[in-house]
């Protein structure tokens, strides 16, 4: 041993009795136990806080999930596209409406001509009655003919009324389109660009949140690794306490006034205790250094999590959400007005389509009238041949009916062509209408949910994170200060070694020294609860002395206020 160190120890302690070393160890253990308990509590609080902070960011991620935010982004893009294409669609629709109006006028003219022909055929029926001099067969024939002509007149009137309604609807379409144009003019041309900008900002923010979530996942994994390291290393506190207690128990035993131990045996055991204390001190220093390093690593990790959440809640990223909410809220009222006008236009164009369908059905019935008139013409000629002079007079009239039938057939074909052309007119056109889809309520709900999640996450993790970070830093400092226990243990070990060096070693020959160690060493061996203690103890057995089987360690009980670490 270094003589300078021996002199220093001799001057400072004058070889304090072993019981004084036991006292110093016991005093050091009290502070050690408190410190490790505090570190355990600080660690548990830090883990809880980091979990809550990570959970807060997960809430933000959920509120801006691709499934939810993606719909909002799509809605914003859709409304912007609709507003961008609205002017060109209105221009095309105006052309279609004019075409529609012109063709319905032509259709009305054709129907009027059909009505005129039906009236003419009615006059021919009266002429047939006169020409036949009241012949019953011709009278009955004209009666049947009039019934068919009345059916045709009713059909023409019905279709005419449909055209009147159709005209009013087309006028409503024009009015709705004018309203839509006025609303668009009031809102200006910048709104589609703003909506597109908001949609892109939301999409970029969602991407940033996803990337932040990945960062958080990496931090959490690192935290878990550091926690595992600390939880493993923190067991050194309990291990050191037990080992120190064993040393204290041994020292009290060999200096028990009621059971005097020979000096040689005392020195032998003091050398053993010194070896245990040095090994314990080395293990303690190494593990405490590891714990301090791990605690110091947790501090920047927790701080990084806090900054990530701050960026989502109050930083630039958080301001994006606020700006988006304000911008979309301002545009919502405008798009609702456009939505209402466009919805009315959609309902009107739907009615136009339904009316065209009904006109197509009326066309079929008009075509049936033309067939009926053809039959009337043919039947009139046949009937005339069977009635002599009266029949010849009627035959003249029958020849006048035939061109009417031909003209009705031509009119039916013309009407069919017109209605087919009408059905090809697209008042809605590509892109459809905004309808209820123009509402920005869903994107607003997504943004507001994200804002609420950000605020909640910061409220849960902000100030508390500051306190935990300070606690971790304090714990690392306090734990580092417990290395003084190492110095205490080493000082006691040096004092014991110096005291024992003045006594000759026991050679194992029969005598009081050997008898005392034969009893003490197995008893000490059974005190141990750790393999490392037994390994250190083994070389101190006297020659021929076999290690005793250690007793089962007693169950350790804790006080109610103990945290389980000690």
- The whole-angstrom separation of Cα 31 and Cα 21 is 16
Least Cα distance to 128 among 387, 318, 319, 367 occurs for 387
In angstroms, the CA 432 to CA 350 distance is: 12
pLDDT band at 262 (very low <50, low <70, confident <90, very high): very high
Q: In this structure, are residues 325 and 444 in contact, taking their beta carbons and an 8 Å threshold?
A: yes
At residue 175, the pLDDT reads: 80
Whether 183 has a pLDDT exceeding 80, the answer reads no
Mean pLDDT value of segment 302-320: 66
- Looking at residue 483, the DSSP 8-state letter turns out to be T
Model pTM?
0.56
Tell me the C-alpha to C-alpha distance, in Å, between residue 383 and each of 123, 150, 378, 395. Answer: 18, 22, 9, 9
Task: Count CB atoms within 10 A of the CB of residue 390.
Answer: 18
Q: Over the stretch 200-238, which tens digit does the pLDDT of each residue have?
A: 887 887 777 778 777 877 777 787 777 777 776 777 788
Residue in 154, 136, 155, 133 with CA at minimum distance from that of residue 144: 136
Give the C-alpha separation, 129 to 135, whole Å. 7
How many Å apart are CA 110 and CA 105, to the nearest integer? 9
pLDDT attached to residue 197: 83
The tokens of 25 are what? 């160890």
Phi and psi torsions of 479, nearest 5°: -65, -40
* CA-based nearest residue to 304, from 158, 455, 461, 108: 461
Among 72, 196, 76, which residue's Cα sits nearest to residue 447? Answer: 72
24/245 Cα distance (integer angstroms): 12
Chain segment 339-367, per-residue pLDDT in tens: 666 676 677 677 777 777 777 777 777 77
**What number is the average pLDDT over the span 87-91?**
80
Positive or negative, the CA dihedral 390, 393, 394, 398 is positive
- The structure tokens listed for 267 are 């020195």
Given this model, what pLDDT does residue 156 score?
86
Tokens of 123: 């006059």
What's the pLDDT band for 16 if we cut at 50, 70, 90?
very low
Rg of the chain in Å (alpha carbons): 53
C-alpha 306/C-alpha 54 separation (Å) is 9
């Amino acid at each position: 041993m270094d003589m300078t160190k021996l002199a220093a120890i001799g001057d400072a302690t004058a070889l304090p009795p072993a019981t004084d070393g036991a006292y110093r160890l016991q005093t050091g253990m009290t502070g050690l136990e408190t410190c490790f308990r505090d570190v355990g509590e600080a660690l548990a609080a830090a883990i809880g806080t980091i979990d809550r902070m990570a959970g807060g960011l997960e809430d933000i991620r959920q509120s801006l999930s691709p499934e939810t935010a993606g719909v909002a982004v799509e809605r914003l893009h859709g409304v912007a596209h609709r507003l961008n294409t609205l002017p060109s669609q209105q221009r095309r629709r105006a052309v279609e409406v004019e075409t529609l109006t012109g063709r319905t006028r032509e259709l009305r003219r054709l129907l009027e001509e059909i009505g005129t022909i039906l009236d003419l055929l009615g006059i021919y029926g009266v002429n047939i009655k006169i020409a036949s001099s009241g012949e019953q067969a011709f009278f009955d024939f004209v009666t049947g003919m009039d019934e068919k002509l009345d059916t045709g007149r009713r059909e023409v009137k019905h279709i005419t009324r449909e055209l009147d309604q159709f005209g009013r609807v087309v006028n409503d379409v024009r009015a709705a389109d004018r309203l839509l144009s006025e609303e668009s003019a009031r809102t200006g041309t910048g709104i589609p660009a703003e909506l597109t900008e908001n949609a892109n900002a939301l999409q970029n923010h969602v991407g940033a949140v996803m990337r932040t979530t990945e960062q958080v996942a990496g931090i959490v994994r690192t935290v878990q690794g550091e926690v595992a390291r600390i939880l493993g290393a923190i067991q050194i506190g309990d291990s050191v306490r037990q080992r120190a207690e064993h040393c204290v128990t041994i020292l009290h035993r060999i200096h028990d006034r009621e059971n005097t131990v020979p000096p040689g045996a005392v020195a032998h055991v003091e050398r053993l205790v010194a070896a245990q204390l040095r090994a314990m001190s080395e293990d303690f220093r190494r593990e405490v250094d590891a714990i301090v390093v791990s605690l110091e690593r947790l501090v920047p990790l927790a701080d990084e999590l806090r900054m990530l959440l701050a960026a989502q809640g109050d930083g630039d990223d958080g301001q994006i959400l606020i700006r988006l909410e304000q911008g979309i809220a301002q545009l919502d009222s405008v798009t609702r007005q456009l939505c209402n006008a466009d919805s009315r236009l959609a309902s009107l164009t739907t009615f136009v389509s339904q009316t065209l369908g009904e006109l197509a059905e009326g066309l079929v019935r008009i075509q049936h009238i033309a067939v009926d008139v053809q039959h009337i013409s043919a039947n009139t000629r046949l009937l005339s041949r069977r009635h002599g002079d009266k029949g010849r007079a009627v035959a003249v009239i029958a020849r006048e009916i035939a061109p009417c039938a031909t003209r009705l057939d031509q009119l039916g074909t013309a009407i069919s062509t017109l209605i087919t052309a009408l059905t090809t007119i697209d008042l809605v056109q590509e892109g459809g209408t905004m309808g209820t889809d123009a509402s920005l309520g869903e994107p607003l709900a997504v943004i507001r949910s994200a804002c609420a999640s950000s605020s909640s996450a910061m409220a849960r993790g902000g100030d508390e994170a500051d306190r935990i970070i300070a606690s971790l830093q304090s714990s690392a400092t306090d734990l580092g200060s417990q290395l003084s226990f190492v110095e205490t243990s080493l000082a006691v070990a040096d004092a014991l070694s110096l005291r024992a060096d003045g006594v000759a070693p026991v050679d194992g020959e029969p005598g009081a020294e050997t008898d005392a160690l034969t009893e003490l060493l197995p008893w000490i061996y059974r005190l141990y609860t750790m393999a490392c203690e037994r390994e250190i103890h083994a070389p101190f057995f006297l020659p021929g002395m076999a290690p005793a089987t250690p007793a089962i360690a007693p169950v350790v009980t804790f006080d109610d206020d103990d945290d389980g670490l000690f």
